[in-house]
Amino acid sequence: MTNFPRLRTASLTLREWKATDAPRVLELLQNQNITRMLASAPYPYTKADAEVFLKRFMPGDLSEAVNWAVELNGIVIGGCGAGFLTKKPDMAWWLSEMHWKKGVMFEALSEVLRYFLLERELPSLFADAFSDNPGSQALMRKLGFVHTGRSMGRSRARLAGEYPTEEFTITALSFIDSQNSIVQEGAQ
């Protein structure tokens, strides 16, 4: 795969990360309410951290990882993607706090899951969330992820140590079932 898969939804553009996104990434990830729910983002978040982020998530080998900048009205408001695509595909995402609980990440991830599960035909995707992140857990369930267990994880934005996490998996069938349920609920 050589061309980056730009995705569009009714209100969002999911595009490749660019070096010019560094100031916006810095602005958004200086919010500890966001970074404390992520494993690799430190707090405080610096310009150097934003540069490392972009080097890590700008397009590389698309058979191994695809990461999108999520834009609303031409402005980056978050990111999502998956890595380890040829091994155990692992999804992650983050969103500016002002857009939480508005359906934005559901819209973005619905399109991302369609791409990975239906277009690229990955057998399944793994995702996890810290146990104190009920928003991401609810989002995963709404998308069709199934809770598979608990584990422990680290966050560079929290005090040293491990924190409980909830693990989820989604297959194409569970994604299609959840999408059909949403359509049926909307028709009633």
Q: Which pLDDT score is estimated for 185?
A: 84
Q: Which pLDDT score is estimated for 188?
A: 74
Q: Which pLDDT score is estimated for 1?
A: 55
Q: Terminus-to-terminus CA distance in the chain, angstroms?
A: 41
Per-residue pLDDT in tens (0 to 9) along the chain, 188 residues: 569 999 999 999 999 999 999 999 999 999 999 999 999 999 999 999 999 999 999 999 999 999 999 999 999 999 999 999 999 999 999 999 999 999 999 999 999 999 999 999 999 999 999 999 999 999 999 999 999 999 999 999 999 889 999 999 999 999 999 999 888 887 77
- All domains in the chain, ordered by first residue: 7-187 (3.40.630.30)
The string of DSSP codes covering the chain is: --S---EE-SSEEEEE--GGGHHHHHHHHT-HHHHTTSSS--SS--HHHHHHHHHHHSS--TTT-EEEEEEETTEEEEEEEEE-TTSS-EEEEEE-GGGTTTTHHHHHHHHHHIIIIIIS--SEEEEEEETT-HHHHHHHHHHT-EEEEEEEE--TTSSSS-EEEEEEEEEHHHHHHHHHHHHHHHH-
pTM of the model: 0.94
Give me the phi and psi of 164, to 5 degrees please: -65, 140
Q: Which pLDDT score is estimated for 186?
A: 78
